[in-house]
């Protein structure tokens, strides 16, 4: 393994993650967001109705796949494999897809496998408002790769929510990071927020949970830490019950999602799921 000095910035991030876990605060990002601006009403073509939006999305989709495939060939992104492909192959409706969030590139295995086995059902992704106006190549990807930015602007947020309803009714997939935070290389599942499950219940579609596990490779990244090899686990879909109220369905589906993630974590890593905040009590 190469001898690369560990990044002080990354060490500070890991320390902050540990501190937040110890405090039982899981929904706060551990890295500073780049400067951004609020979105304006009508600025985002959520449903890609404009011809220019359609073209940009197709270009961004193609270019991003080529770009990330190069990173995979170089060993910058490593995918060990997939588990539970049958759960994806058997999907015949729109769905909310949940995933743990631990790296800016953690959706790459998800996009690749959905493109292969559900090509006719486009995968959209909910992103933070600031990511939509991110500069450069990654900004182009964020803006045009079938993204649905959230917003502090009520009118823009309403446009986003309406688009989510429309896309689910059309049979599309929508990826949501239901933990509502990115913790770099954090292997444990974090508590989930209600939003993803509310979308599913409102539109009577299932939640398809995915969970990525990791292992250290023998190659270091440019910050001195082992590059992670990913295995994407696609779990059994969770359906809303017609016998439960909206509130009850949200609670039931969220609980089942959290239980499924916990099972994968404990099975793959061979250790019980515990948090520093619980040890403190």
CATH classification for the domain delimited by 51-272, as one of 3.40.50.10300, 3.90.220.20, 3.40.1130.10, 3.40.50.2300: 3.40.1130.10
Q: Comparing C-alpha atoms, which of 104, 112, 84, 111 is closest to residue 260?
A: 84
Mean pLDDT calculated for residue range 62-75: 96
The confidence score (pLDDT) of residue 281 equals: 53
The confidence score (pLDDT) of residue 91 equals: 96
The confidence score (pLDDT) of residue 47 equals: 96
Mean pLDDT calculated for residue range 188-202: 98
The confidence score (pLDDT) of residue 1 equals: 59
Tens digits of residue pLDDT in 3-57: 789 999 999 999 999 999 999 999 999 988 777 789 999 999 999 999 999 999 9
Give the lowest-confidence range in 141-145, 168-172, 215-219, 232-236.
Answer: 141-145
Q: What is the percentage of the chain residues whose pLDDT exceeds 90? A: 90
pTM (predicted TM-score):
0.95
Exposure string over 47-80, b if 16+ CB within 10 A, otherwise e: bbeeeebeebbeebbeebeeebeeeeeeeebbee
The confidence band for 122, taking pLDDT boundaries of 50, 70 and 90, is very high
Question: Order of strands across the sheet with 173-176?
Answer: 78-83, 226-234, 207-220, 95-98, 173-176, 123-127, 147-149
Tens digits of residue pLDDT in 123-166: 999 999 988 888 888 889 989 999 999 999 999 999 999 999 99
Phi, psi of 216 (to 5 degrees): -70, 130
């Amino acid at each position: 393994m190469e001898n690369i000095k560990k990044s002080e910035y990354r060490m500070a991030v890991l320390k902050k993650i540990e501190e937040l876990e110890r405090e039982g605060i899981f929904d706060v990002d551990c890295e500073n967001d780049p400067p951004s601006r609020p979105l304006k009403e009508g600025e985002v073509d959520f449903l890609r109705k404009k011809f220019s939006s359609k073209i940009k999305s197709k270009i961004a989709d193609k270019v991003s796949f080529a770009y990330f495939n190069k990173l995979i060939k170089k060993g910058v992104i490593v995918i060990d494999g997939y588990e539970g492909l049958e759960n994806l192959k058997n999907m015949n409706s729109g769905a909310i897809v949940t995933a743990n969030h631990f790296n800016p590139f953690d959706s790459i295995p998800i996009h690749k496998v959905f493109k292969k086995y559900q090509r006719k059902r486009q995968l959209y992704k909910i992103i933070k408002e600031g990511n939509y106006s991110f500069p450069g190549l990654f900004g182009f990807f964020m803006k045009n790769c079938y993204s649905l930015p959230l917003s502090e602007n009520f009118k823009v947020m309403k446009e986003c929510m309406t688009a989510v309803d429309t896309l689910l009714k059309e049979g599309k997939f929508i990826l949501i990071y239901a933990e509502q935070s990115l913790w770099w290389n954090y292997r444990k599942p974090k508590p989930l927020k209600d939003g993803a499950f509310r979308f599913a219940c409102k539109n009577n579609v299932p939640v398809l949970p995915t969970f990525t596990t990791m292992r250290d490779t023998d190659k270091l990244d440019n910050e001195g830490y082992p590059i992670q090899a990913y295995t994407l686990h696609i779990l059994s879909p969770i359906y809303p019950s017609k016998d439960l109220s909206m509130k009850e369905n949200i609670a039931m589906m969220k609980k089942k999602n959290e239980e499924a993630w916990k099972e994968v974590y404990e099975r793959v890593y061979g250790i019980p799921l515990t948090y520093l905040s619980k040890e403190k009590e």
